[in-house]
Amino acid sequence: MSLGHFFKNIWSGIKHIFEGLPQDLKVAIHVGVVVTENVKKFVDSEGTDVLTAIIPGDLDEVIKNKLRDNLPKILTQLKLADKCGGLTDTAEIVKCAIQILQQTEGDFKSAFLHDLSILIAQVASDGKLDWKDDTYVLQWYYTHKFKKTADDENDTVDDHLQVTEDTAHVNP
């Protein structure tokens, strides 16, 4: 068996796991990817309200509030904001962490962004996703759903997420 065939079987298994997840967990995984993608975009630009810029406006208010509360904590625990230890304003903590991320390159930056996606998805799922499972499923979703769709259709992040009054849904 070739290595390529082996990995194809692994991705197929993870796809099966993702497809079997409850909708709220699929949304949480999507939120982890979307917010991290927005962080990557923000790293290369400037904005006035960093939290508004990186948290999609059409998310459920409960999820947005959880992200606003937890994102600075996550960034601090990832040690992205250590140099800004005296800050207390959440927006300033996030800005500081993004400035540190701007100075990080290569695999270190990718590792931080991957970890950030996982932690954001855990917040968005109310802790229903654990680190180990979320790692594989999130990577599969990013590679095979989010990135592929964005590349193929040259669409926006918002095209993947449909929000109704009661809940958010990931479009296939």
pLDDT at 36 over 70: yes
Neighbours of 67 (CB within 10 A): 22
Q: Which pLDDT tens digit goes with each residue over 81-96?
A: 667 777 878 888 888 8
Name the helix (H) or strand (E) containing 162: strand 161-163
For residues 17 and 9, give the distance between their C-alpha atoms in angstroms, rounded to a whole number. Answer: 13
For residues 113 and 126, give the distance between their C-alpha atoms in angstroms, rounded to a whole number. Answer: 20
For residues 80 and 150, give the distance between their C-alpha atoms in angstroms, rounded to a whole number. Answer: 28
pLDDT at 160 over 50: no
Which amino acid, residue 158?
Answer: D
pLDDT at 110 over 60: yes
> What is the 8-class DSSP label of residue 87?
-
Neighbours of 6 (CB within 10 A): 9
Could you give the C-alpha distances from 53 to 43, 88, 131, 135, in angstroms and in order?
11, 19, 26, 25
Q: Is 161 helix (H, G, I), strand (E, B) or coil?
A: strand
pLDDT at 42 over 80: no
Residue 39 backbone dihedrals phi, psi, to 5 degrees: -60, -45
Average predicted confidence (pLDDT) for the chain: 76
